[in-house]
Amino acid sequence: MDALRSPGPLLTGMRAVVTGGCHGIGGAVTRAFAAHGADVLSLDVDVSAPPATDVHGAGRIEVVELDVTAPSAAQRVAELTEPDVVVHNVGHFLRAPRLFQEEGPADWAEMFRINVDHVFALTATLLPGMVSRGRGGSVITMTTVEAHRAIPGHAVYSGAKAALEAWSRSMALEHGRDGIRFNAIAPDLIETPQVPYHQLVDEEDWWRWRLWAPLARPGTPEDVAGVALFLASPLSGYVTGTTLHVDGGSRAAGGWFPRASGGWTNRPRDP
Ligand SMILES: NC(=O)c1ccc[n+]([C@@H]2O[C@H](COP(=O)([O-])OP(=O)(O)OC[C@H]3O[C@@H](n4cnc5c(N)ncnc54)[C@H](O)[C@@H]3O)[C@@H](O)[C@H]2O)c1
pLDDT at 262: 84
Nearest residue (by CA) to ligand 1, atom 19, is 194
Pocket test for ligand 1, best of 119, 165, 192 (most atoms within 8 A of CB): 192
Q: Of 251, 161, 220, whose CA–CA distance to 29 is shortest?
A: 220
Whole-number Å distance between alpha carbons of 242 and 228: 13
pLDDT at 193: 97
Ligand 1 centroid to residue 146 C-alpha, Å? 15
Nearest residue (by CA) to ligand 1, atom 26, is 20
CA 35 to chain centre: 18
Ligand 1 centroid to residue 22 C-alpha, Å? 10
Looking only at the bridges linking them, the beta strands covering 61-65 and 39-44 are: parallel
Whole-number Å distance between alpha carbons of 85 and 183: 11
Residue range 202-257, pLDDT digits in tens: 999 999 999 899 999 999 999 999 999 999 999 999 999 999 999 999 999 998 88
Q: Are 77 and 66 in contact (CB under 8 A)?
A: yes
Q: Are 95 and 144 in contact (CB under 8 A)?
A: no
Pocket of ligand 1 (CB under 6 A): 19-20, 22-26, 43-46, 67-69, 89-92, 142, 144, 187-190, 192-195
Ligand 1 centroid to residue 88 C-alpha, Å? 10
Q: Of 161, 158, 148, 152, whose CA–CA distance to 247 is shortest?
A: 148
pLDDT at 5: 84
DSSP string for residues in 232-262: HSGGGTT--SEEEEESTTHHHHTT-EE-TTS
Pocket test for ligand 1, best of 47, 69, 77, 90 (most atoms within 8 A of CB): 90
Catalytic residue among 157, 182, 212, 230: 157
Residue 182 pairs in a beta bridge with: 139
Q: Which CATH class is domain 2-265?
A: alpha beta
pTM above 0.95, yes or no: yes
Whole-number Å distance between alpha carbons of 246 and 257: 18
Active site residue 197: no
Q: Where are the domains of the chain?
A: 2-265
Residue range 1-60, pLDDT digits in tens: 778 887 789 999 999 999 999 999 999 999 999 999 999 999 999 999 988 866 766 899
Nearest residue (by CA) to ligand 1, atom 18, is 194
